[in-house]
Amino acid sequence: MAKFTQEDDALLEELGIEVETKKAAKRTPREERIIAGFEEIQRFVEEHGAAPLHGEDHDIFERLYAVRLDRMRELKECCALLEPVDHQGLLSDAEILVSAELDELDDDALLAELGVAAETADITELRHVRSSAEIRAAEEIANRERCEDFEAFKPLFELVKHELDSAVRISRVIRKDAGFLKADIKKGEFFILGGQTLYIAEVGEPIKAPNGAMDARLRVIYSNGTESNILLRSLQRAIYKDDTSRRISEPTAGPLFSDVTEEDDLASGTVYVLRSKSDHPIVAENR
């Protein structure tokens, strides 16, 4: 509708014409949060070129988006609210795949799956404000994008899987109290994080973080065909937060010595095997 100046309004009034102004419908906080949750899914589709999918071989955030989208398709209230902004046709793009377990969710759990926090009357509780940890996690995930040259890395992931299955490599749980440092993350190494194998393809030049510590930008390739340019410190934090994170060892190089004596073997020294008597918990546990 065209906007009228005060002079226009006065002229129309002289002509006996009333100007109607339509007020935009005000959405409730709950509706705003549902729309915000839907917009997150839309951004995912824009970045990846497809709707989020279920399945253990997909990223945990993609699986959460898939559950959320299924719920939105199922609820008439959500469909009516979101159809005007659904320019990607997500609400009618596929059949609903909600599991029986999710069908049993109560109202609060359902709202949580939709990204909607339950209302509370506590005036001391902050609303619509994400914690710094949530913001960091969202920023790190948002940096993921499709790996255009994934075909060059795919054989590496297949080889690592084969070597793990055949015990050529092993995976070790990463323990924070054992002193896992940023320096332990090097180019060419493999880790398991969030159920996915990741490969450190590149380590950038050292940069100084705001707190004065040294950091670096990494190129990390994930087994689901995505990549990110996450900071080294951010990857370290993610590894610490995941209790199931693991480091994949390098292929074993075989025994140091052969059990067969050759004619040209020469004694060049003595190998001593020592055992620590330390009472330190880590030493005692791995004695």
In a domain, 125, yes or no: no
Q: In the prediction, which pLDDT does 88 show?
A: 87
Same domain, 76 and 161: no
Quick one: 95 and 153 in the same domain? no
Per residue in 91-144, pLDDT tens? Answer: 875 554 444 444 444 555 555 555 555 445 444 555 555 555 555 554 454 467
Within 8 A by CB and 6+ apart from 175, the residues are none
The low-confidence residues of the chain, meaning pLDDT below 50, are 1, 96-105, 118-119, 121-123, 138-139, 141-142
Instruction: Using the 3D structure, point to which of 117, 134, 161 is the last residue of a domain.
Output: 117
Dist. CA 84–CA 31, nearest whole Å: 13
- Cβ atoms of residues 115 and 68 within 8 Å: yes
Instruction: Find, among 254, 245, 253, 223, the residue nearest to 160 by Cα.
Output: 223
Is 18 contained in some domain? no
Whether 105 and 148 share a structural domain: no
pLDDT of residue 33: 87
The answer to whether residue 263 is domain-embedded is: no
Tell me: the pLDDT tens digits for 50-65? 888 888 777 788 888 8
Whether 239 and 198 have beta carbons less than 8 Å apart is answered as no
pLDDT at 121: 46
150 domain residue, yes or no:
yes
* Domain containing residue 230: 144-248
Residue 156 lies in a domain: yes
Distance between start and end Cα atoms, the chain: 80
Question: What pLDDT shows up at residue 101?
Answer: 42
In the numeric block, the tokens 């610490």 are attached to: 240
Pick from 146, 279, 171: which is nearest to 222 by CA? 146
107 and 163 fall within a common domain: no
Domain count for the chain, please give it: 2
The token duo for 112 is: 């949580």
Within-domain flag for 270: no
174 in the same domain as 89: no
Nearest Cα neighbor of 225 from 189, 196, 191 is: 196
Q: What is the pLDDT of residue 97?
A: 46
